[in-house]
Amino acid sequence: MNVPPAPAAPRLPAARIASKRWRWERMLGFAVSLGLHLAIFAALLRPEPAPTPEPVLPAAIVSVDLTASQPTAPTLPALPIPPLRSERATAAASAGAEAPRSRTSTEPAGVAASANARTNSRAPNREVSRAPAQPAREALYRSPPARSAQDADNRARDAQSAYRRLLAEYLAKVKRYPASAVATHDEGTVMLWFRLDRSGRLLSWTISRSSQSPRLDGEVARMVQAAAPFPPFPAAWDAPSATFVVPIDFSLN
């Protein structure tokens, strides 16, 4: 009696195995592609940093402090004063020169001639004695050099004070309170440093101390550029250039 063999385990067809493998590879590729797209999308959605606001210009002026060195007038050297006897000798010589002339009308011709000869012989001495009188006259007009220098210093100081007031008024004409700063209630003081030449030309400027408000600092920058060129220096103020520090106050009170 023949016994039939046990049935073999069923085998999956090769096409089915290949189909499953292809399906897993496709799912893996889709997952990798999705991850890359999500990473790119997240990078595009990252917010960019806000741009730094550019500074603008000026504000309220409380005072103007002049920091330029004040020029001093040159001190003239003192002139020597001749002794008084030179003046007396000059007077005696002139009196001696006039005496013979008064005698010429009454004395004989020979006496007059001898008198003229004596006068001519004294002429060189008279010129020598008169020479010191010229420096004495110059010394009289130039004797107060220290007083003239002091007067020049006083005039220069007065001119600087007047120019500071003029500069404050000039800057006040271009001053304004930014509307954006008013809306945000920004207040503060900006220290403006700038240098002018004597014609009033703006050589350089900077904000030496910020108000911590970009709007107010920007207004100060606008103001100094709008005010240039400034008025020229007074004639009594002999300085090629000067540096100024201006506190510009912004207050809503």
Quick one: pLDDT band at residue 149, thresholds 50, 70, 90? confident
Q: pLDDT above 90 covers what percent of the chain?
A: 31
User: Comparing 39-48, 98-107, 231-240, 241-250, which segment has the lowest mean pLDDT?
Assistant: 98-107
Specify the residue for token string 């990473």: 39
210-215 long-range contacts, CB within 8 A, separation 24+: 211/186, 211/187, 211/250, 212/188, 213/181, 213/186, 213/187, 213/188, 213/250, 214/53, 214/55, 215/56, 215/178, 215/180, 215/181, 215/184, 215/186
Q: How confident is the model at residue 38 (pLDDT cuts 50, 70, 90)?
A: confident
245: enclosing H helix or E strand = strand 241-250
> What is the tens place of the pLDDT at every residue in 165-213?
888 888 889 999 999 999 999 999 999 999 999 999 999 999 999 999 9
pTM summary value: 0.44
The structural domains of the chain, with segments of one domain joined by +, span 60-76+150-250, 84-142
Superfamily classification of domain 60-76+150-250 = TonB (3.30.2420.10)
pLDDT above 70 for 66: no
pLDDT in tens, 126-145: 444 455 555 544 543 354 44
